């Protein structure tokens, strides 16, 4: 299939390009490089020895998006493009609503116009809010606790309503848990512009000496050691989840959790990183971060069964692969 990947130069998108090219699909990437680098595209091509068609386009601009559909046959879209930092979304809510919601509306409109029936959307475990984990897809979504989560709830709703108006569409909404790690080549990985918002790139930058110490946001949560618990999933497992989602896409809207089902605390992740890579990660405990919840982990059984997919890589591989990428990463 010819797959348009919005945000394909980003962290999850770039790994998904590798998985899709490996599975024999053709890939067209549209990215404005707000949070990624054009060099990533060269690296994907180097790893896979396959060509990608690349557009430096902003998905909030409908006409830029339309040029891609005019110039290429498209069989399906994986829509990654968006902003993703919870704490930033609290400070800049309008930017988040504008970018994340408008880009989804444009994807829904263009797919309707060009009769592209297959859409895979990047949602987030954030939509579960303060529900009790393990999170299951049919849980009632609580009023979300941050604007980022709201943009995902709204985007899901927009896609569901699009399907309600035309049931021939096939939409898979994937709710990701916490992707970490990197492709085993060490050539691509998580390379955020500016200071990292996510835990693993923060840890790797501390290990490299670029940041002095890790800040752990709160150790008074009701968890195993008081630090926040998340479901870390190797980014290549997540990438393979997208290939499985496309291969098994069904009519209507279907929602799947992509996670491992296992919760790991911040300090457990720090310990695993130290053990896997034989490096020390100095850290300090600071106050809780607005918008964070105590624990979040998936019940991934629906994706395991219906997509015939499960996360295979363990925490130590996630830590080893993340560190290999950081050591190789000349842009830092």
Catalytic site residues?
148
Binding segment for ligand NAD (CB under 6 A), chosen from 25-33, 47-55, 212-220, 278-286, is 25-33
312: alpha, beta or left? (left if phi > 0; alpha if psi -120 to 50):
alpha
With contacts defined by CB under 6 A, how many residues of the chain interact with ligand NAD? 28
Q: Does 11 bind ligand NAD (CB under 6 A)?
A: yes
CB 148 within 8 A of CB 126: yes
Q: Does 10 bind ligand NAD (CB under 6 A)?
A: yes
Nearer to ligand NAD, 181 or 186 (CB): 181
- Selected binder of ligand NAD within 104, 122, 264, 277 (CB under 6 A): 122
Give the burial string for 128-154 (b: 16+ CB within 10 Å, else e): bbebebbbebeeebeebbbbbbbbbbb
Q: Does 198 bind ligand NAD (CB under 6 A)?
A: yes
Q: Does 32 bind ligand NAD (CB under 6 A)?
A: yes
The conformation of residue 43, written as its DSSP 8-state character, comes to: H
H or E stretch including 318?
helix 315-328
CB 103 within 8 A of CB 82: yes
Binding segment for ligand NAD (CB under 6 A), chosen from 8-16, 109-117, 207-215, 309-317, is 8-16
Nearer to ligand NAD, 81 or 206 (CB): 81
Q: Does 84 bind ligand NAD (CB under 6 A)?
A: yes
Question: DSSP characters for 260-305?
Answer: -S--EEHHHHHHHHHHHHT----EEEEPPPTT--SEE-B--HHHHH
Binding footprint of ligand NAD on the chain (CB under 6 A): 6-7, 9-13, 31-36, 58-60, 80-82, 84, 99, 103, 122, 124, 176, 178-179, 198
């Amino acid at each position: 299939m010819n797959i348009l990947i919005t945000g394909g130069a980003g962290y999850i998108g770039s790994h998904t390009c590798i998985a899709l090219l490996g599975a024999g699909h053709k890939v067209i990437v549209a990215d404005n490089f707000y949070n990624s680098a054009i060099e990533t595209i060269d690296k994907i091509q180097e790893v896979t020895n396959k060509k990608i068609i690349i557009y430096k386009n902003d998905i909030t601009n409908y006409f830029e998006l339309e040029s891609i559909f005019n110039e290429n046959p498209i069989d399906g879209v994986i829509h990654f493009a968006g902003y993703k930092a919870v704490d930033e979304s609290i400070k800049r809510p309008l930017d988040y609503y504008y970018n994340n919601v408008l880009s989804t509306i444009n994807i829904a409109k263009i797919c309707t116009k060009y009769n592209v029936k297959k859409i895979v959307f990047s949602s987030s475990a954030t939509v579960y809010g303060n529900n009790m984990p393990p999170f299951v897809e049919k849980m009632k979504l609580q009023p979300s606790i941050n604007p980022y989560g709201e943009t995902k709830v709204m985007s899901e709703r927009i896609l569901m309503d699009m399907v309600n108006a035309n049931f021939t569409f096939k939409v898979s909404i994937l709710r990701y848990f916490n992707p970490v790690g990197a492709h085993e080549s060490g050539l691509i990985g998580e390379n955020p512009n500016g200071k990292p918002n996510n835990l693993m790139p923060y840890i790797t930058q501390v290990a490299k000496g670029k940041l002095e110490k890790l800040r752990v946001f709160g150790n008074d949560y009701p968890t195993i050691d008081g630090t926040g618990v998340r479901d870390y999933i190797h980014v290549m497992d997540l990438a393979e989840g997208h290939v499985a989602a496309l291969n098994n896409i069904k009519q209507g809207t279907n929602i799947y959790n992509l996670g491992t089902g296992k919760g790991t605390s911040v300090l457990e992740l720090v310990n695993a990183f130290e053990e896997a890579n034989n490096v020390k990660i100095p850290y300090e405990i600071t106050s809780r971060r607005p918008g964070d919840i105590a624990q979040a982990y998936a019940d991934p059984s629906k994706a395991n069964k219906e997509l015939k997919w499960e996360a295979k890589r363990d925490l130590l591989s996630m830590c080893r692969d993340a560190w290999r990428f950081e050591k190789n990463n000349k842009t830092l």
